[in-house]
């Protein structure tokens, strides 16, 4: 159980990460807004509570592996990594620029700690499963976490990987699906219905947990619970796309575009004042 002081601390970190996301997107002038904001709490929980890792030693053999399959939400990973100490937060503002290590979609060759290159959907789970298989072969205790989108579940090769991980009972593998109900062309249940989503994974011999993706203690507890499973675990993280900025929350049109300068000013104001609940030092 996390202490209430620790939870407050983590929530504050998540807000800082959200601010960084908005700043980097407006600087980049392109990119995805809704997904990164929606996953800020999950990434905070992972980098600041769940993962065994060392920002100064990204290749540390004892680390847990975090595979980001839906690479388009990488701004939240960059922001979380920067705040965790992998690289200076200021470097976040180079996102998507020529010569930057922070590519529009993540490239492992360029930035230590990314683990994989991703963006094309449906390819992260199999890679995570391959890593988990290798670790288990060698009797290593490291855990592998893989983040996927809900729209990504449309990809056929996801299900090849789900089937195989279930067959191999890779219980050192935890998949977190960002269940935010949006994809580029609209709501997931209209574009390509997923429900009953949890049942699908259960049918493939997975352990399935569901959490509120904005409730950090609940998410951390689910990660802890996954360690008892004899099968791979899916954590369905119910999130609100654009979380933290009321005017875009839940709006699929914000999947793939960045805020303008004026919008960013409003968004940052809202994030910094917790929706008007506190006064901002920048006011």
Question: Which residue ranges make up the site for other proteins (CB under 8 A)?
Answer: 107-109, 115-120, 122-135, 137, 156-157, 160-161, 163-164, 167
Strand partners for 162: none
* DSSP three-state, residue 202: helix
Kindly state the smallest distance separating residue 81's Cβ from other proteins, in Å.
Answer: 18
Of 130 and 186, nearer to other proteins (C-beta) is: 130
Helical residues (DSSP H) of 168-273, grouped into ranges: 188-191, 197-203, 216-226, 261-272
Of 108 and 227, nearer to other proteins (C-beta) is: 108
Of 104 and 258, nearer to other proteins (C-beta) is: 104
Phi, psi (5° rounding) for residue 145?
Answer: -110, 135
Of 67 and 248, nearer to other proteins (C-beta) is: 67
Of 54 and 212, nearer to other proteins (C-beta) is: 54
Q: What's the CA gap between 213 and 128, in Å, rounded?
A: 21
Of 44 and 142, nearer to other proteins (C-beta) is: 142
Kindly state the smallest distance separating residue 89's Cβ from other proteins, in Å.
Answer: 27
Tokens of 154: 């449309």
For residue 20, what are the CA distances in angstroms to 6, 59, 111, 125, 247? 21, 25, 18, 27, 18
Instruction: Output the CA angle 32-89-264, nearest 5 degrees.
Output: 40
Kindly state the smallest distance separating residue 33's Cβ from other proteins, in Å.
Answer: 24
Q: Give the pairing of strands 65-68 and 144-149.
A: parallel
Kindly state the smallest distance separating residue 165's Cβ from other proteins, in Å.
Answer: 9
Tokens of 38: 């929606």
Kindly state the smallest distance separating residue 163's Cβ from other proteins, in Å.
Answer: 7
Q: What's the CA gap between 183 and 60, in Å, rounded?
A: 35
Kindly state the smallest distance separating residue 149's Cβ from other proteins, in Å.
Answer: 16
Q: H/E/C letters for each residue in 10-45? A: HHHHHHHHHHHHHHHHHHHCCCCCHHHHHCHHHHHH
Q: What's the CA gap between 68 and 144, in Å, rounded?
A: 11
Kindly state the smallest distance separating residue 118's Cβ from other proteins, in Å.
Answer: 8
Of 102 and 132, nearer to other proteins (C-beta) is: 132
Kindly state the smallest distance separating residue 107's Cβ from other proteins, in Å.
Answer: 8
Of 30 and 157, nearer to other proteins (C-beta) is: 157
């Amino acid at each position: 159980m996390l202490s209430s002081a620790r939870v407050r601390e983590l929530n504050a970190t998540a807000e800082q990460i959200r601010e960084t996301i908005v700043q980097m997107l407006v600087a980049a002038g392109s990119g995805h807004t809704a997904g990164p904001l929606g996953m800020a709490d999950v990434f905070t929980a992972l980098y600041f509570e769940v993962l065994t890792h060392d920002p100064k030693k990204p290749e540390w053999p004892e680390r847990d592996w975090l595979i980001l399959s839906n690479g388009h939400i990488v701004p939240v990973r960059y922001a979380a990594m920067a705040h965790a100490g992998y690289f200076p937060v200021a470097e976040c503002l180079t996102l998507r620029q020529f010569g930057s290590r922070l590519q529009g979609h993540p490239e492992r060759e360029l930035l230590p700690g990314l683990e994989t290159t991703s963006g094309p959907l449906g390819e992260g789970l199999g890679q995570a499963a391959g890593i988990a298989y290798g670790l288990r072969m060698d009797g290593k205790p490291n855990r592998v976490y893989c983040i996927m989108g809900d729209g990504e579940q449309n990809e056929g090769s996801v299900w090849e990987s789900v089937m195989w991980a279930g067959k191999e009972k890779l219980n050192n593998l935890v998949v977190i699906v960002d269940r935010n109900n949006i994809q580029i062309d609209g709501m997931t249940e209209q574009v390509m219905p997923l429900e009953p989503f949890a049942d699908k994974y259960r049918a493939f011999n997975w352990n399935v947990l569901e959490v509120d993706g904005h409730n950090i203690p609940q998410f951390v507890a689910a990660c802890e619970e996954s360690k008892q499973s004899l099968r791979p675990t899916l954590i369905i993280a119910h999130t609100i796309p654009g979380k933290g900025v009321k005017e875009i929350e839940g709006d699929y049109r914000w999947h793939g575009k960045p805020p303008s300068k004026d919008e960013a000013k409003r968004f940052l104001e809202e994030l910094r004042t917790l929706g008007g609940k506190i006064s901002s030092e920048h006011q």
